[in-house]
Amino acid sequence: MNFRTPHPFPPVILDDVRGAQKMLSGVARMTAMEGSRHLSELVGAPVHFKCENLQRTGSFKLRGAYVRIAGLSPVERAAGVVAASAGNHAQGVALASALLGVRATVFMPVGAPLPKVAATREYGAEVRLHGQVVDETLAAAEEYAQETGAVFIHPFDHPDIIAGQGTVGLEILEQCPEVRTIVVGIGGGGLAAGVAVAVKAVRPDVRIVGVQAAGAACYPPSLAAGHPVVIDGLQTMADGIKVGRPGDVPFGLVQELVDEVRTVSEAELSSALLLCLERAKLVVEPAGASPVAALLSDPRSFRGPVVALLSGGNVDPLLMQRILTHGMASAGRYLSLRVRLTDRPGALATLLASLSVADANVLDIGHVRTDPRLGLTEVEVELHLETKGPVHCEEVTTALRHAGYEVTA
Protein backbone atom coordinates (compact mmCIF):
# COMPACT_ATOMS: atom_id res chain seq x y z
CA MET A 1 0.00 0.00 0.00
CA ASN A 2 1.30 3.45 -0.90
CA PHE A 3 0.97 5.85 2.05
CA ARG A 4 2.61 8.82 0.33
CA THR A 5 1.00 12.22 0.12
CA PRO A 6 2.53 15.30 -1.54
CA HIS A 7 4.60 17.50 0.76
CA PRO A 8 4.21 21.04 -0.72
CA PHE A 9 6.85 22.73 1.41
CA PRO A 10 9.51 20.20 2.43
CA PRO A 11 11.30 21.34 5.62
CA VAL A 12 14.62 19.97 4.33
CA ILE A 13 15.90 20.01 0.75
CA LEU A 14 19.08 18.91 -0.99
CA ASP A 15 20.71 22.35 -0.66
CA ASP A 16 20.30 22.08 3.13
CA VAL A 17 22.09 18.75 3.15
CA ARG A 18 24.87 20.05 0.94
CA GLY A 19 25.27 23.03 3.23
CA ALA A 20 25.48 20.67 6.20
CA GLN A 21 28.14 18.66 4.40
CA LYS A 22 30.32 21.76 4.03
CA MET A 23 29.77 22.61 7.69
CA LEU A 24 30.82 19.10 8.75
CA SER A 25 34.05 19.12 6.73
CA GLY A 26 36.86 18.30 9.14
CA VAL A 27 34.36 17.43 11.89
CA ALA A 28 32.61 14.22 10.84
CA ARG A 29 34.53 11.45 9.11
CA MET A 30 33.59 10.03 5.73
CA THR A 31 33.16 6.53 7.12
CA ALA A 32 34.20 3.41 5.26
CA MET A 33 32.11 1.41 2.81
CA GLU A 34 32.82 -2.30 3.22
CA GLY A 35 31.59 -5.18 1.07
CA SER A 36 29.89 -8.25 2.52
CA ARG A 37 30.52 -11.41 0.52
CA HIS A 38 28.17 -13.49 2.66
CA LEU A 39 25.21 -11.13 2.27
CA SER A 40 26.02 -10.59 -1.40
CA GLU A 41 25.64 -14.33 -1.97
CA LEU A 42 22.32 -14.38 -0.11
CA VAL A 43 20.92 -11.35 -1.92
CA GLY A 44 22.32 -12.33 -5.31
CA ALA A 45 23.84 -8.87 -5.79
CA PRO A 46 26.59 -6.77 -4.20
CA VAL A 47 25.89 -5.72 -0.61
CA HIS A 48 27.95 -3.02 1.10
CA PHE A 49 28.04 -1.74 4.68
CA LYS A 50 28.14 2.02 5.30
CA CYS A 51 30.05 1.97 8.58
CA GLU A 52 28.72 4.83 10.69
CA ASN A 53 29.55 2.64 13.68
CA LEU A 54 33.10 3.88 13.01
CA GLN A 55 32.06 7.56 13.10
CA ARG A 56 33.34 9.82 15.87
CA THR A 57 31.38 9.08 19.07
CA GLY A 58 30.44 5.72 17.53
CA SER A 59 27.37 6.78 15.54
CA PHE A 60 25.94 9.15 12.94
CA LYS A 61 24.46 11.39 15.64
CA LEU A 62 27.42 13.79 15.67
CA ARG A 63 26.43 14.99 12.19
CA GLY A 64 23.00 16.34 13.07
CA ALA A 65 24.00 17.57 16.52
CA TYR A 66 26.90 19.62 15.16
CA VAL A 67 24.81 21.21 12.38
CA ARG A 68 22.04 22.08 14.83
CA ILE A 69 24.33 23.65 17.44
CA ALA A 70 26.50 25.41 14.85
CA GLY A 71 23.34 27.12 13.55
CA LEU A 72 22.52 28.72 16.91
CA SER A 73 22.84 32.47 17.36
CA PRO A 74 25.53 33.87 19.70
CA VAL A 75 22.85 34.57 22.31
CA GLU A 76 21.54 31.00 22.09
CA ARG A 77 25.05 29.56 22.33
CA ALA A 78 25.72 31.63 25.42
CA ALA A 79 22.65 30.09 27.09
CA GLY A 80 24.01 26.58 26.49
CA VAL A 81 22.25 23.51 25.16
CA VAL A 82 20.42 20.60 26.76
CA ALA A 83 19.60 17.16 25.39
CA ALA A 84 18.05 13.88 26.50
CA SER A 85 19.34 10.52 25.33
CA ALA A 86 20.18 6.99 26.38
CA GLY A 87 23.53 7.17 24.63
CA ASN A 88 24.27 8.04 20.99
CA HIS A 89 22.61 11.45 20.78
CA ALA A 90 24.08 12.29 24.18
CA GLN A 91 27.61 11.68 22.93
CA GLY A 92 26.97 13.51 19.66
CA VAL A 93 25.69 16.61 21.47
CA ALA A 94 28.51 16.45 24.00
CA LEU A 95 31.27 16.35 21.38
CA ALA A 96 29.61 18.88 19.07
CA SER A 97 29.20 21.30 21.98
CA ALA A 98 32.83 20.85 23.00
CA LEU A 99 34.03 21.52 19.46
CA LEU A 100 31.89 24.66 19.24
CA GLY A 101 32.64 25.93 22.76
CA VAL A 102 29.06 25.62 23.99
CA ARG A 103 28.08 24.46 27.47
CA ALA A 104 26.07 21.21 27.31
CA THR A 105 23.84 19.48 29.84
CA VAL A 106 22.66 15.99 28.95
CA PHE A 107 19.90 14.11 30.75
CA MET A 108 20.20 10.32 30.64
CA PRO A 109 18.02 7.57 32.14
CA VAL A 110 19.09 6.21 35.51
CA GLY A 111 19.74 2.82 33.94
CA ALA A 112 21.82 4.09 31.02
CA PRO A 113 24.87 1.89 30.33
CA LEU A 114 27.86 3.13 32.30
CA PRO A 115 30.21 3.25 29.25
CA LYS A 116 27.81 5.65 27.49
CA VAL A 117 27.47 7.84 30.58
CA ALA A 118 31.24 7.94 31.03
CA ALA A 119 31.85 8.75 27.35
CA THR A 120 29.34 11.61 27.44
CA ARG A 121 31.07 13.11 30.47
CA GLU A 122 34.50 12.67 28.88
CA TYR A 123 33.34 14.67 25.86
CA GLY A 124 32.70 17.56 28.26
CA ALA A 125 28.97 17.52 28.97
CA GLU A 126 27.37 17.71 32.40
CA VAL A 127 25.37 14.49 32.79
CA ARG A 128 22.23 14.34 34.91
CA LEU A 129 20.61 10.96 35.50
CA HIS A 130 16.82 11.19 35.63
CA GLY A 131 13.93 8.82 34.96
CA GLN A 132 13.72 5.15 34.16
CA VAL A 133 12.76 5.53 30.48
CA VAL A 134 13.74 8.04 27.81
CA ASP A 135 10.30 9.71 27.82
CA GLU A 136 10.81 10.71 31.48
CA THR A 137 14.34 11.87 30.69
CA LEU A 138 13.06 13.90 27.74
CA ALA A 139 10.48 15.65 29.91
CA ALA A 140 13.17 16.55 32.44
CA ALA A 141 15.40 18.01 29.73
CA GLU A 142 12.56 20.10 28.30
CA GLU A 143 11.71 21.40 31.78
CA TYR A 144 15.36 22.32 32.30
CA ALA A 145 15.34 24.22 28.99
CA GLN A 146 12.28 26.24 30.06
CA GLU A 147 13.79 27.04 33.46
CA THR A 148 17.29 28.00 32.30
CA GLY A 149 16.86 29.22 28.72
CA ALA A 150 19.15 26.51 27.40
CA VAL A 151 18.35 25.43 23.83
CA PHE A 152 16.83 21.97 23.66
CA ILE A 153 18.54 19.83 21.01
CA HIS A 154 16.02 17.25 19.87
CA PRO A 155 17.47 13.93 18.71
CA PHE A 156 15.51 13.83 15.43
CA ASP A 157 12.65 16.33 15.19
CA HIS A 158 14.36 19.38 13.68
CA PRO A 159 15.31 20.34 10.11
CA ASP A 160 18.98 20.99 10.99
CA ILE A 161 19.27 17.56 12.60
CA ILE A 162 17.78 15.93 9.50
CA ALA A 163 20.05 17.91 7.16
CA GLY A 164 23.09 16.79 9.12
CA GLN A 165 22.07 13.14 9.07
CA GLY A 166 21.38 13.46 5.34
CA THR A 167 25.09 13.89 4.66
CA VAL A 168 25.38 10.11 5.10
CA GLY A 169 23.24 9.78 1.97
CA LEU A 170 25.53 12.03 -0.06
CA GLU A 171 28.51 9.94 1.00
CA ILE A 172 26.74 6.72 -0.03
CA LEU A 173 26.13 8.12 -3.52
CA GLU A 174 29.78 9.13 -3.79
CA GLN A 175 31.18 5.85 -2.49
CA CYS A 176 28.71 3.53 -4.26
CA PRO A 177 27.33 5.44 -7.28
CA GLU A 178 25.72 2.27 -8.67
CA VAL A 179 23.57 1.73 -5.55
CA ARG A 180 19.96 0.74 -6.18
CA THR A 181 18.69 0.10 -2.64
CA ILE A 182 19.61 1.72 0.68
CA VAL A 183 18.45 0.03 3.88
CA VAL A 184 18.38 2.18 7.02
CA GLY A 185 17.11 1.73 10.57
CA ILE A 186 14.29 4.01 11.75
CA GLY A 187 13.56 5.23 15.27
CA GLY A 188 12.15 8.75 15.28
CA GLY A 189 13.00 9.06 11.60
CA GLY A 190 15.73 11.71 11.43
CA LEU A 191 18.35 9.54 9.74
CA ALA A 192 15.97 7.89 7.27
CA ALA A 193 14.42 11.26 6.38
CA GLY A 194 17.80 12.91 5.84
CA VAL A 195 19.17 10.08 3.72
CA ALA A 196 15.98 10.00 1.66
CA VAL A 197 16.08 13.76 1.03
CA ALA A 198 19.68 13.62 -0.18
CA VAL A 199 19.43 10.45 -2.24
CA LYS A 200 16.04 10.93 -3.88
CA ALA A 201 16.96 14.44 -5.05
CA VAL A 202 19.97 13.09 -6.94
CA ARG A 203 18.86 9.52 -7.71
CA PRO A 204 15.06 9.18 -7.52
CA ASP A 205 15.37 5.61 -8.82
CA VAL A 206 17.15 4.44 -5.64
CA ARG A 207 14.84 2.52 -3.34
CA ILE A 208 14.93 3.52 0.35
CA VAL A 209 13.85 0.81 2.79
CA GLY A 210 13.39 1.69 6.46
CA VAL A 211 13.66 -0.93 9.20
CA GLN A 212 12.09 -0.93 12.67
CA ALA A 213 12.21 -3.41 15.52
CA ALA A 214 8.87 -5.24 15.63
CA GLY A 215 8.57 -4.47 19.36
CA ALA A 216 8.94 -0.71 18.80
CA ALA A 217 7.47 -0.07 15.37
CA CYS A 218 5.72 3.29 15.45
CA TYR A 219 5.97 4.04 11.73
CA PRO A 220 3.70 1.35 10.20
CA PRO A 221 0.61 2.43 12.17
CA SER A 222 1.51 6.10 11.73
CA LEU A 223 1.85 5.72 7.96
CA ALA A 224 -1.44 3.85 7.86
CA ALA A 225 -3.12 6.65 9.83
CA GLY A 226 -1.47 9.40 7.78
CA HIS A 227 -0.06 11.14 10.86
CA PRO A 228 2.26 10.30 13.79
CA VAL A 229 0.65 8.06 16.38
CA VAL A 230 1.91 6.93 19.77
CA ILE A 231 2.51 3.26 20.54
CA ASP A 232 3.00 1.88 24.04
CA GLY A 233 4.74 -1.12 25.54
CA LEU A 234 8.00 -0.81 23.60
CA GLN A 235 10.04 -3.99 23.89
CA THR A 236 13.31 -4.31 21.98
CA MET A 237 17.03 -4.69 22.57
CA ALA A 238 17.58 -2.01 19.90
CA ASP A 239 17.48 1.04 22.19
CA GLY A 240 18.78 3.30 19.40
CA ILE A 241 15.48 2.91 17.50
CA LYS A 242 13.22 2.39 20.51
CA VAL A 243 10.91 5.36 19.91
CA GLY A 244 7.18 5.42 20.63
CA ARG A 245 6.20 8.20 18.21
CA PRO A 246 7.65 9.47 14.91
CA GLY A 247 8.94 13.03 14.86
CA ASP A 248 6.62 15.53 13.21
CA VAL A 249 9.30 16.88 10.87
CA PRO A 250 10.82 13.58 9.72
CA PHE A 251 7.44 11.86 9.43
CA GLY A 252 6.35 13.92 6.44
CA LEU A 253 9.64 13.27 4.67
CA VAL A 254 9.57 9.54 5.40
CA GLN A 255 5.95 9.39 4.24
CA GLU A 256 6.85 11.09 0.98
CA LEU A 257 10.30 9.70 0.19
CA VAL A 258 10.87 6.34 1.90
CA ASP A 259 9.60 3.52 -0.30
CA GLU A 260 8.92 0.92 2.37
CA VAL A 261 9.17 0.33 6.12
CA ARG A 262 9.79 -3.24 7.33
CA THR A 263 10.00 -4.74 10.80
CA VAL A 264 12.44 -7.31 12.19
CA SER A 265 12.25 -9.61 15.20
CA GLU A 266 14.58 -9.74 18.20
CA ALA A 267 15.98 -13.06 16.96
CA GLU A 268 16.75 -11.47 13.58
CA LEU A 269 18.45 -8.51 15.27
CA SER A 270 20.69 -10.73 17.38
CA SER A 271 21.57 -12.91 14.39
CA ALA A 272 22.46 -9.77 12.42
CA LEU A 273 24.70 -8.48 15.19
CA LEU A 274 26.44 -11.85 15.33
CA LEU A 275 26.97 -11.82 11.57
CA CYS A 276 28.51 -8.33 11.69
CA LEU A 277 30.91 -9.46 14.40
CA GLU A 278 31.86 -12.83 12.93
CA ARG A 279 31.83 -12.15 9.20
CA ALA A 280 32.62 -8.43 8.94
CA LYS A 281 34.64 -8.04 12.17
CA LEU A 282 32.51 -5.01 13.03
CA VAL A 283 31.08 -4.16 16.45
CA VAL A 284 27.56 -2.92 15.76
CA GLU A 285 24.77 -2.15 18.20
CA PRO A 286 21.34 -3.76 17.67
CA ALA A 287 19.80 -0.62 16.13
CA GLY A 288 22.74 -0.34 13.77
CA ALA A 289 22.35 -3.98 12.75
CA SER A 290 18.65 -3.63 11.90
CA PRO A 291 19.30 -3.20 8.13
CA VAL A 292 21.34 -6.42 8.19
CA ALA A 293 18.49 -8.15 10.00
CA ALA A 294 16.11 -7.10 7.23
CA LEU A 295 18.49 -8.45 4.59
CA LEU A 296 18.79 -11.75 6.41
CA SER A 297 15.03 -12.11 6.84
CA ASP A 298 14.20 -11.84 3.12
CA PRO A 299 17.41 -11.47 1.09
CA ARG A 300 15.95 -12.01 -2.38
CA SER A 301 13.47 -9.15 -2.02
CA PHE A 302 16.20 -6.49 -2.31
CA ARG A 303 17.39 -5.10 -5.63
CA GLY A 304 21.16 -4.71 -5.71
CA PRO A 305 23.64 -3.23 -5.33
CA VAL A 306 22.47 -2.72 -1.74
CA VAL A 307 23.93 -0.46 0.93
CA ALA A 308 23.07 -1.36 4.54
CA LEU A 309 23.64 1.62 6.83
CA LEU A 310 25.25 0.49 10.09
CA SER A 311 24.20 3.51 12.12
CA GLY A 312 26.08 2.91 15.37
CA GLY A 313 28.42 0.73 17.38
CA ASN A 314 27.85 1.86 20.97
CA VAL A 315 26.84 -1.30 22.75
CA ASP A 316 27.28 -2.07 26.44
CA PRO A 317 29.63 -5.07 26.92
CA LEU A 318 27.17 -6.87 29.21
CA LEU A 319 24.36 -6.39 26.71
CA MET A 320 26.68 -7.55 23.95
CA GLN A 321 27.33 -10.77 25.85
CA ARG A 322 23.61 -11.45 26.22
CA ILE A 323 22.88 -10.54 22.62
CA LEU A 324 25.62 -12.78 21.27
CA THR A 325 24.31 -15.67 23.32
CA HIS A 326 20.82 -14.98 22.01
CA GLY A 327 22.16 -14.69 18.46
CA MET A 328 24.04 -17.97 18.65
CA ALA A 329 20.94 -19.69 20.00
CA SER A 330 18.82 -18.22 17.20
CA ALA A 331 21.39 -19.41 14.66
CA GLY A 332 21.26 -22.95 16.05
CA ARG A 333 24.71 -22.72 17.59
CA TYR A 334 23.47 -23.74 21.04
CA LEU A 335 21.49 -26.84 21.87
CA SER A 336 19.78 -27.48 25.21
CA LEU A 337 18.33 -30.90 25.92
CA ARG A 338 17.63 -33.40 28.68
CA VAL A 339 18.71 -37.03 28.71
CA ARG A 340 17.44 -39.68 31.14
CA LEU A 341 20.10 -42.05 32.51
CA THR A 342 20.37 -44.94 34.92
CA ASP A 343 21.96 -43.51 38.05
CA ARG A 344 25.09 -45.64 38.20
CA PRO A 345 28.86 -45.04 37.98
CA GLY A 346 30.10 -44.46 34.45
CA ALA A 347 26.71 -43.54 32.93
CA LEU A 348 27.60 -39.85 32.52
CA ALA A 349 31.01 -40.71 31.08
CA THR A 350 29.35 -42.91 28.46
CA LEU A 351 26.94 -40.11 27.54
CA LEU A 352 29.79 -37.59 27.21
CA ALA A 353 31.67 -40.04 24.99
CA SER A 354 28.66 -40.17 22.67
CA LEU A 355 28.60 -36.38 22.53
CA SER A 356 32.31 -36.32 21.76
CA VAL A 357 31.76 -38.66 18.81
CA ALA A 358 28.97 -36.33 17.62
CA ASP A 359 31.47 -33.42 17.87
CA ALA A 360 29.31 -31.38 20.28
CA ASN A 361 31.03 -29.19 22.87
CA VAL A 362 29.54 -29.39 26.37
CA LEU A 363 29.12 -25.96 27.98
CA ASP A 364 27.18 -26.87 31.09
CA ILE A 365 25.74 -29.94 32.83
CA GLY A 366 23.03 -30.18 35.50
CA HIS A 367 21.59 -33.18 37.31
CA VAL A 368 17.90 -33.58 38.25
CA ARG A 369 17.13 -36.34 40.74
CA THR A 370 14.00 -35.03 42.48
CA ASP A 371 11.51 -35.04 39.58
CA PRO A 372 8.63 -37.34 40.63
CA ARG A 373 8.44 -38.64 37.06
CA LEU A 374 11.87 -40.26 37.45
CA GLY A 375 12.24 -43.86 38.54
CA LEU A 376 14.04 -44.79 41.73
CA THR A 377 17.32 -45.49 39.91
CA GLU A 378 17.01 -42.76 37.25
CA VAL A 379 18.57 -39.32 36.89
CA GLU A 380 17.91 -36.67 34.29
CA VAL A 381 20.89 -34.78 32.92
CA GLU A 382 20.36 -31.28 31.52
CA LEU A 383 22.94 -30.41 28.87
CA HIS A 384 23.86 -27.13 27.19
CA LEU A 385 25.91 -27.76 24.08
CA GLU A 386 27.74 -25.65 21.52
CA THR A 387 27.04 -26.87 18.00
CA LYS A 388 27.79 -25.90 14.40
CA GLY A 389 24.28 -24.97 13.36
CA PRO A 390 20.73 -26.33 12.97
CA VAL A 391 21.79 -29.36 10.92
CA HIS A 392 24.41 -30.31 13.49
CA CYS A 393 21.80 -29.93 16.28
CA GLU A 394 19.64 -32.51 14.52
CA GLU A 395 22.64 -34.79 14.00
CA VAL A 396 23.56 -34.65 17.72
CA THR A 397 19.99 -35.38 18.83
CA THR A 398 19.68 -38.26 16.35
CA ALA A 399 23.02 -39.73 17.43
CA LEU A 400 21.94 -39.78 21.09
CA ARG A 401 18.64 -41.44 20.28
CA HIS A 402 20.39 -44.04 18.14
CA ALA A 403 22.63 -44.72 21.13
CA GLY A 404 19.52 -45.59 23.12
CA TYR A 405 19.01 -42.39 25.09
CA GLU A 406 15.63 -40.81 25.78
CA VAL A 407 16.09 -37.21 24.70
CA THR A 408 13.75 -34.28 25.41
CA ALA A 409 14.18 -30.63 24.44
Tell me if 261 sits within 8 A of 210, measured CB to CB.
yes
Q: How far is CA 39 from CA 119, 179, 306, 359, in A?
A: 33, 15, 10, 28
Active site residue 61: yes
**How far is residue 55's CA from residue 51's CA, in Å, rounded to a whole number?**
7
d(CA 6, CA 20): 25
Calculate the alpha carbon distances from 82 to 54, 277, 282, 385, 398 in Å: 25, 34, 31, 49, 60
Query: In this structure, is the dihedral angle defined by the CA atoms of residues 398, 401, 407 and 408, taken in order, positive or negative?
Result: positive
Q: Rounded to whole angstroms, how far apart are CA atoms 112 and 127?
A: 11
Instruction: Write down the catalytic residue from 61, 116, 200, 242.
Output: 61
The span from the CA of 288 to the CA of 272, in Å, is 10
Q: Which of 59, 270, 271, 311 is catalytic?
A: 311
Distance, CA of 68 to CA of 351 (rounded, Å): 64
- Distance (Å) of CA 393 to CA 119, 127, 188, 269: 41, 48, 40, 22
User: Is residue 85 flagged as an active site residue?
Assistant: no
SS3 83: strand
Q: Catalytic residue numbers?
A: 61, 311
